[in-house]
Structure 1
């Protein structure tokens, strides 16, 4: 499996075959979606945990 950096380099290289370029682009796009999804999920989890702790603290 190519590293993310090599995928980006291959996409921007004019000598890369168009079929490979499209394939690599799709791989990069899917990885970015997954990455963003993980970040959003982690942020939401942190927000929920913080809110729950805050509400728990407010009871006392």
Structure 2
């Protein structure tokens, strides 16, 4: 069982933490949800780009 003073303090503490996180974080939701490519994916994309360039030179 908690006292009303403690309960009020707890609610303010939680709300203050949430507010602080929102204000500190200036990135949009889309930026948070963007998938960062893995190192393997980056290497694969680079390989495909170079392969396409070589194919153009051969033609």
Q: Do they superpose with TM above 0.5? A: no
Q: Which has the higher contact order (CA 8 A, sep 6+)?
A: 1
Select the structure that is richer in helix: 1
Q: Normalized against structure 2, the TM-score is what?
A: 0.41
Structure ID, larger Rg? 2
Q: Normalized against structure 1, the TM-score is what?
A: 0.41
